[in-house]
Structure 1
Amino acid sequence: MGIPGRHSGGGADGTALVVVDMINTYDHEDADQLLPSVRAVLPVVVDLLTRAREHDVPVIYVNDNFGEWRSHHGELLQTALAGPHAELVEPVRPDDSSLFVVKARHSIFYETPLAYLLTQLGVGHLVLCGQVTEQCVLYSALDAHIRHIDVTVPTDAVAHIHEPLARAALEMMRRNMGARTVEAKEIDFG
C-alpha cells in the first residue's frame, strides 16, 4: 500500500514527513543510552528525507527548544551543530524547503501551530521519524490520533532510550491508535 503524496486541494489526504527532535545537542541525562539508537536510525532517517523531498512531500521538523525561549530554529540548529554530536545533526539538517515548528514538551502538537499548518497544507497523514520512540513519538502519535490524523511510524527510523519500552510504545501506537508500523523501505511517497 502506497502513501499518498502532497495534496494541493481542499481535502486532508496529503502526507507529510515529520522529523521529531533530531536537532539535538544530546546534553541531557539519558543521552548515553539514546546515542547508539540514534546512530542506528540516522541513515534510515536520511533516506526518508531524501525520498520525501524527491516527491515534493512536505518535510516538517518539530523540535524541542531546550528551554531557550529567546531562540529561533536557526539558533537551535547552530547550537546543535556546534555541539559534540554534530555528526548526528548535519546529515538531517533542514534544507530551504523544510518547515520548522518549535515545541516545548513531548508532543509535536502540544501548544504548537502544527495542527493549523497541517490544515493549510492539506495533510491528513503523518510519517513520524526521529526520537524518542517511547516518549515524544508515542505522545505525538496519540495526539495525531485524537485529531483524526493518520500516522505511519517507520520502526527503523525512530530512536529509543529503553528498547523494551520502545517496543511496547510501537505496539500501543499500532493497537490503540491505529498507526501503521512498518519498515521505512515500505513507505512509498510517490
Structure 2
Amino acid sequence: MTRTALIVTDMINTYEHEDAHLLLPSVREALPGMTRLIERARRGGVEVIYVNDNFGRWRSHHDELLAAALHGPYGDVVEPIRPDDDSLFVVKARHSAFYQTPLEYLLREHGAGGIVLCGQVTEQCILYSALDAHIRHFDITVARDAVAHIHPDLADAALRMMERNMSARVCTSADPDLPL
C-alpha cells in the first residue's frame, strides 16, 4: 500500500473575505469530517500537512496566521482542526497546494505516494490541488464530507471531475478503506 499524507487545505482562516458568508455554513457542516480525518491520521501515524494561504501577510509565519484565525470572530471553526506540534505547515499564495510550494518535495521526502484532501474550497483550491497532485502521479483521495464549498453545484461538479478525470477516490471520512 502506498504511504499517504493528509492535506488540510486553507482551514487556518479568519473568514474576512467577500464570499465567507456563503462558505461558512458548508465549513461548519464539513468540520466533523475534517476532525475525524485529522484524528484518524494522527492515531495512525500518518503525516498531517496544513497547506494554507497567507492572505498577503508575507512577513508572517504559521503561528501568526493561526493566532489571527483563532482570535478572530470564527475561531470556533479553526479550534477543532488546529495544527498540533507534529503537524507540518506549508504556505501557499495561489489556489493549488502544489503551485510554487515545497509540498511535492516534502511528500516525496516522507515517502508519500498518496494524499487525502480535506478543507476548503472544493470547487477551487481542492480541485486545483487534486489536478496538480494527479499530474505529479500521486494517488488522490477526497473525503466528500470533509470539504467545504461556496457553490454546491460547482462542488458536486468538481468532485465528479476529480473522480473521473484525475482518478481520485471520492469517499467519506468514515470509510474504513480510507488510506489513513
TM over 0.5: yes
Partner of 2:60 in structure 1? 71
Is the CA contact 1:23–1:80 (under 8 Å) kept in the aligned structure 2?
yes
How far, CA to CA, are the matches of 2:167 and 2:62 in structure 1?
A: 31
Give the TM-score taking structure 2 as reference length: 0.97
State whether structure 2 residue 160 is matched by structure 1 residue 175: no
Partner of 1:10 in structure 2? none
How far, CA to CA, are the matches of 1:182 and 1:91 in structure 2?
A: 22
State whether structure 2 residue 18 is matched by structure 1 residue 29: yes
* Structure 1 unaligned spans of 5+: 5-12
Stretches (4+) displaced over 4 A: none
Percentage of pairs with the same residue: 66
Partner of 2:114 in structure 1? 125
Q: How do 1:120-159 and structure 2 match up within 5 A? A: 120-159=109-148
Is the CA contact 2:36–2:174 (under 8 Å) kept in the aligned structure 1?
no
Is the CA contact 2:6–2:47 (under 8 Å) kept in the aligned structure 1?
yes
How far, CA to CA, are the matches of 1:73 and 1:105 in structure 2?
A: 16
Partner of 1:81 in structure 2? 70
> What SS does structure 1 have at the residue aligned with 2:145?
helix
Question: C-alpha deviations, 1:36-76, integer Å up to 9, x for none?
Answer: 00000101101111110000000000000000000100100
Q: How do 1:102-121 and structure 2 match up within 5 A? A: 102-121=91-110
RMSD: 0.9
> What SS does structure 1 have at the residue aligned with 2:113?
strand
Equivalences, count: 179
Is the CA contact 1:154–1:183 (under 8 Å) kept in the aligned structure 2?
yes
Aligned AA (1:61): Y
Give the TM-score taking structure 1 as reference length: 0.92
